[in-house]
Amino acid sequence: MYKEKTMKTTTMTLVTILAMTGTLFAGGGKAIAPVESVIAPIVEPIDPLPFYIGAGILATFIDRDPCSCGGGDIQDHRYGGVIRAGYDFNQYIGLEARGLKTFGNDVFSEVTHYGIYVKPQYHISPQSNIYGLLGYGKTKVDYTNGILSSQTDENSFAYGIGFEYDFGNDQSEGQYDRIFDGQGDQEKGWGMWVDFQHLLGNAGAKHTDLNVLTAGITYDF
């Protein structure tokens, strides 16, 4: 009984070996190369923060009605600095806060402004977009001619229009968590902006019109 069971086991082993050998050397005795399974690499999605900051320079353009003593309109322009910080809700709308101030002391018109703006935007290329600014701000203009001084201090509606360009080289192939990331200025990295704003118009009895041109460097997180 034992011998019979041993023979059956040996016979099955030999059949298995012969079957495996026939598979490996099928087709003229040539070995068949094992099939390698190709595993696609897992791409980690990029999830940049929708925040950005920026700093730049500005030029102000002021047109004010003459004083009660007569004379023509008072016009002046100054230079200064601007900072901004924003949040992009999606590819079409964002929110931005900014502050600006002209440089120098004892100049004719010194401007300080703080405001917050809704920022509608539209991407015109993979690296650029145009945008608008619609918001509310506090604007103060200090006037002095070396002898007399006065001040305009107003909270008012302000608006503007601008252009942004992204310097980044996007290597992500679109692997972002949100579809609007990586478009226009919303790719992580450095960029630039330039815009024009109307900050003040017909403010109180002094009828001051204040416009500002800004440009600078921005960084998207």
Residue 18: band (very low, low, confident or very high) from pLDDT cuts 50, 70, 90? very low
Largest CA distance in the chain: 133
193 sits in which H/E element: strand 189-200
CA angle 58, 64, 69 (to 5 degrees): 145
Residue 103: band (very low, low, confident or very high) from pLDDT cuts 50, 70, 90? confident
Tokens found for residue 71: 């004379």
As a whole number of angstroms, the distance between CA 128 and CA 163 comes to 7
Residue 144: band (very low, low, confident or very high) from pLDDT cuts 50, 70, 90? confident
Q: In the predicted model, what is the mean pLDDT of residues 1-28?
A: 49
Taken in order of first residue, the domains within the chain and their CATH numbers are 51-220 (2.40.160.20)
pLDDT beyond 80 at 185: no
pLDDT digits (tens, 9 = 90+) for 47-91: 667 889 999 999 999 887 765 555 556 778 889 999 999 998 888
**Number of CB atoms found within 10 A of residue 28's CB:** 5
Q: What is the DSSP letter of 144?
A: E
Using a cut of 0.75, tell me whether the model's pTM lies above it. Answer: no
Residue 181: band (very low, low, confident or very high) from pLDDT cuts 50, 70, 90? low
Question: Higher model confidence: residue 6 or residue 98?
Answer: 98
User: DSSP assignment of 154-181, as one string?
Assistant: EEEEEEEEEEEEE-----STT-BSSTTT
CB 98 within 8 Å of CB 115 = yes
Q: In the predicted model, what is the mean pLDDT of residues 101-126?
A: 86
